[in-house]
A and B are shown apart, each in its own frame.
Chain A
């Protein structure tokens, strides 16, 4: 259960973050590398969507369960979603107020953030992401290293071998 609550049952790199970026909010195109990674903040990959309302809570769960240090969503400023309500919807879903809800039992809510930034507010957005990354990494550092997926299976196998011999 404790393993589940840490949200890294699949293992993975704990210095990496996933961000979902609405196409109409914080304009980060010119700050992205070839693999859509953020050049200003190491370890952050951005997945661009038409609207932050398209983000499924299960994607956020997947990112954290895969071992990401954190996951964030960037939407338009409150009251001004290009598609009217997308930013409100994703915020409510992640807060568990609107279906489909985020299963907070399985992931650490402290490693999830929603930023509301307009297209021209990208410098402020980068600062937000930096601060969020530092927070997530500090939080991840408090926990034991992830043991999941193939790594965990290999470790378990090695342990079993050692025990047997």
Chain B
């Protein structure tokens, strides 16, 4: 590692630290609620005010897109469903491509060429696989960006964000190994660069690099390893998606049919107009020195131009740490978790059904002394979104927001309208 690299790393770490400290200080101590009773939500820190502004700006984009597509078919609203849709496109087309692939140094390139030029519709199938993967990456970027800029990644959603970051890493592994499997000049160069990157990891680097290529040198095992690394993450997605959906009640998994058809059509058109082709076969005697970068998956490799592998390792660690930490950035401590009046709760479960964050559990009422069993709603505070939907769902006023009680709202209504007639 060169001294300049060390200096760059130290400067990056210092900048991140200073940024974190500045953000924490700007948050300030929690402020007290204002004197007006009809105020909901907690006072906002600067960080939260920034997120609020970005949320408002995003709704302007929504408004323009709604004028074009209508709210029902606005793809911007189905960013999560689109991600899932493209994942299934990749799996379906990947299965067909997989039937023709031979993971060996001698035959890998030839098998891909056979699929492309000999198998009927093979080129289209390969293109569909390639461009649905690009679509997947675009949808993930849209999804993550929208979730961030609409402030839907913190508090009760923090674990969903963390699971999303884990899936992002898996997505990159899948995408990069897809380029390695073709075994053309680009694959060889990417393999070399990835090997250097892994070898630069302290302590375990050499083992990881050896594991990556399946031994001390590139051999047939290497491509079997790449095939495993390409296929295993999509299967892991099945578990990770469960984790991702765990705290969401009734997740929107797929976009509506017109958006699905539009997405499928775009992928088909891209596959037909820009056919996916390989570069020259991998040549150990004359390896490529330049890389055609796919900006969706291979952007990290461009950084090899300016940074050494150890620096890149540190950069990756810092980037991941920031991504994992983002939802836990400081926030005001004022919480407004609903409280349940056990005496009024009839155990009807309406709040339990309507809670979108799975924060309400129905338990056997420990206070109920009657013969028949009765349920009682219990709010699990860490999961609670403090949205008050449960309050709207309760016909018995058994659940209330402590900082905005039903009585306050009712007094505000009658006070304004002048129900007693005194104000007329």
Contact = CB atoms under 8 A, between A and B. Distances in A.
Interface in A73-109: 77-80, 82-86, 89-90, 93, 99-100
Contacts of A53: 354, 387-389, 392-393
A83 B385 contact: yes
Contacts of A24: 55
A55 B394 CA distance: 10
B150 A78 contact: no
A36 B38 contact: yes
Contacts of A100: 350, 393-395
A27 B56 contact: yes
A16 B414 CA distance: 11
Interface stretch (B9-17, B136-144, B284-292, B416-424): B416-424
B344 to A, nearest CB: 14
A16 B417 contact: yes
Interface string B397-424: 1000100101001101110111111111
A124 B78 CA distance: 24
A35 B422 CA distance: 18
B294 to A, nearest CB: 31
Interface stretch (B66-74, B125-133, B268-276, B372-380): B66-74
Contacts of B39: 48
Contacts of A63: 413, 417
A13 interface: yes
Contacts of B406: 56
Contact of B40 (A23, A56, A59): A23
Contacts of B249: 84
B388 A54 contact: yes
Contact of A79 (B41, B60, B71, B250): B71
B422 A120 contact: no
A50 B57 contact: no
Nearest to B406: A56
B386 interface: yes
Given A48-B39, A54-B392, A89-B392, A13 B417 contact: yes
A163 to B, nearest CB: 22
B417 A59 contact: no
Contacts of A10: 414, 419-420
Interface in A128-148: 148
Most A CB contacts (10 A, CB to CB) among B36, B72, B391, B422 go to B391
B61 to A, nearest CB: 9
B417 A12 contact: yes
Nearest to B77: A79
Nearest to B354: A89
A55 B71 CA distance: 23
B63 interface: yes
Given A53-B389, A54-B387, A55-B392, A66 B417 contact: yes
A80 B62 contact: yes
A99 B395 contact: yes
A139 B334 CA distance: 43
A110 interface: no
Given A53-B387, A79-B74, A120 B63 contact: yes
A49 B63 contact: no
Given A49-B388, A89-B389, A12 B419 contact: yes
A50 B388 contact: yes
A11 B72 CA distance: 41
Interface string A1-45: 000000000111100101000011001000000011100000001
B352 to A, nearest CB: 13
Contacts of A83: 356, 385, 387, 389
A112 interface: no
Complex A-B, nearest 6 residue pairs according to Cβ-Cβ distance, in ascending order: A118-B59, A54-B388, A100-B395, A53-B389, A119-B56, A151-B421
14 contacts: A10-B419, A12-B424, A18-B417, A23-B41, A49-B40, A49-B388, A51-B387, A56-B392, A67-B418, A77-B63, A84-B356, A118-B59, A118-B60, A121-B59
Interface of B: 36, 38-41, 55-57, 59-60, 62-63, 66, 71-72, 74, 77-78, 150-152, 248-250, 336, 350, 354, 356, 385-389, 391-395, 397, 401, 404, 406, 409-410, 412-414, 416-424
Interface of A: 10-13, 16, 18, 23-24, 27, 35-37, 45, 47-51, 53-56, 58-59, 62-63, 66-68, 77-80, 82-86, 89-90, 93, 99-100, 116, 118-121, 148-152
Given A13-B424, A77-B66, 14 more contacts: A11-B420, A27-B56, A45-B416, A47-B409, A47-B413, A49-B40, A51-B388, A56-B391, A56-B392, A78-B72, A83-B389, A89-B392, A89-B393, A150-B421
